[in-house]
Amino acid sequence: MSDFKGARKTNIPELPRIGDRVSFIYIEHAKINRQDSAITFADSKGIVRFPAAMIGVLLLGPGTDITHRAIELIGDTGTSIVWVGERGVRHYAHGRSLARSTRFLERQAKLVSNTRTRLEVARLMYQMRFPKENVSKLTMQQLRGREGARIRKVYRHYSKLYDVPWSGREYNPDDFEASDPINQALSASNVALYGVVHSIVVALGMSPGLGFVHTGHDLSFVYDVADLYKAELTIPISFEITSTIDDGDDISRFARLKVRDAMVDGKMMKRIVKDLQALLDIPDDERLYIDTINLWDDKDHLVDYGVNYSIGEL
């Protein structure tokens, strides 16, 4: 008699299509284990069981503890796993991507390695910023100039709205404290946004370094994508925080938490996934349409989805 316990390893053809999976599940302050073919998430409220093959991307936040048996099952079922900060505002490490082929990466590499298609994607990125304008004929220099003018206008708007003095974007990457409070807030909130974008990029199997506007950095594509959302997310957050904090407050912490809170409902993550696939012109039948389920600690409630509450089994 075999001593093997649990389900046998699933063959690739038996795994659900990416589009059939619950795509992003974020976990924090929980013990993650395996029970047969299910991943279990346990906290002080009880245990939640979830079929491993239905998880697309598992985001592990602070306070998570995962067993070797759980990782074994996650690997067998083709689930992507990313270690992140709160709500993904830091990217620490990742395992295999959600994509079981290299088609997203190949598409990205093909577009970025050709001058004409690279310019087309870059223009599309700027078009997302200027939805009412036609930028299809503008050069990169013209696009950068127009974007610079737009961002300066955004800065002035929120400076006036929140009564925060603004003299320009100035910061030293090697000396965070050398900047004034608003620039510190902008730096911290932008880094938080980069973490979220980075996690999504690698989860989809794309390269964070193959940028279309930015180049020469291992996060060039992350910076490209994050720039699409700064004017509506990190810039207003930074000015709002700066207008309310007291001297001596940890402005970087407030900024990270505010960006984290903006990600709680999952809408921004869905939008980033959708925009990434639109930018790379991924065909409809290959696109990933995500849903987001969150499991939180005692500060929040568990989402009622496939839940088996087994109080006392911890």
The pLDDT value recorded for residue 58 is: 83
Ranking 49-63, 155-169, 175-189 by mean pLDDT, the lowest is 49-63
The pLDDT value recorded for residue 172 is: 80
Domains and CATH numbers, the chain: 12-98+289-295 (3.100.10.20), 103-286 (1.20.120.920)
Check pLDDT > 50 for residue 297. no
Determine contact, residues 54/18, Cβ cutoff 8 Å. Answer: no
The pLDDT value recorded for residue 142 is: 92
**Residue 312 or 108, more confident:** 108
Query: What does the pLDDT look like over 187-244, one tens digit per residue?
Result: 999 998 998 898 889 888 899 999 999 999 989 999 999 999 999 999 999 999 999 9
Q: Left (φ > 0), alpha (ψ -120 to 50) or beta: where does 39 sit? A: beta
Query: What does the pLDDT look like over 87-112, one tens digit per residue?
Result: 667 777 776 666 666 788 999 999 99
The pLDDT value recorded for residue 238 is: 96
Helix residue ranges per DSSP H, the chain: 68-76, 103-112, 115-129, 140-162, 181-203, 220-226, 234-244, 251-262, 267-279
Is residue 214 marked as binding?
yes
**Residue 177 or 225, more confident:** 225
Token pair in block for residue 161: 């709205």
Provide the mean pLDDT of the chain: 80
The pLDDT value recorded for residue 164 is: 95
The pLDDT value recorded for residue 237 is: 96
The pLDDT value recorded for residue 249 is: 80
Is residue 177 marked as binding?
no
Is residue 301 marked as binding?
no
The pLDDT value recorded for residue 203 is: 81
